[in-house]
Structure 1
Amino acid sequence: MGIFSGLITLPLAPLRGTVWVAEQVRDEADKELHDPAVIRRQLEQIAEARREGTIDEAEADTAERELVARLIRADRNEGT
């Protein structure tokens, strides 16, 4: 990049930085959403909440189904 084009695009630098940060946050969120270890921990938390009675059976079943579906998708994507 030449000095002239660098000066012209300088006002866009904060925007490029913001976009980079947003991409990093998105990537981390995707990793956590599809990380089997995180999903298993969440399943354990639901099981504990069920034992303690802080979540009812219907809520626990719904949450577990969603997490198991995510776990299956994560396993399939790992194999790809």
Structure 2
Amino acid sequence: MGLLSEVLLLPAAPVRGTAWVLRQVVTEAERQYYDPATVQRELAHLVAAYEAGEMTEDEFEAREDELLDRLAAGSGP
């Protein structure tokens, strides 16, 4: 039965392969998005932009809150 199911599912192999690749890409993107080192780097760039006068205090605080939320979500419970 295993060989028969493989033969019958062979036309779907490209779709299954594509789905697997997409799952791997999403997993890696999430890992990088929540990586503490990445978030800390973005916080440092944010502080530098604020100190250079490239954004208002409200913009800075909103973006800082987003980054801190990401950092907290990435560290888990």
TM-score normalised by length of structure 1: 0.82
Do structure 1's residue 17 and structure 2's residue 55 form an aligned pair?
no
Structure 1 ranges of 4+ moved more than 3 A: none
Aligned length: 76
Percent identity among equivalent residues? 37
For 1:56, the equivalent position in structure 2 comes to 56
Encode CA deviations 1:15-53: one digit per residue, 9 max, x unaligned. 111111110111012101211111101101101111222
CA distance in 2, matches of 1:69, 1:5: 46
Structure 2: 5+ residue stretches without partners: none
Q: How does 1:67-78 map to 2 (within 5 A)?
A: 67-75=67-75, 77=76
Structure 2 partner of 1:8: 8
- Structure 1 unaligned regions, length at least 5: none
Query: What's the offset of the Cα at 1:13?
Result: 0.5
Moved more, 65-74 or 34-43: 65-74
Take 2:7 and 2:72, find their aligned partners in 1: how far apart are those partners? Answer: 49
What's the Cα RMSD here? 1.4
Q: Please give the secondary structure, in 2, of the residue aligned with 1:55.
A: coil
Q: TM-score, normalised by structure 2?
A: 0.85
- Secondary structure (helix, strand or coil) at the match of 2:54 reads coil
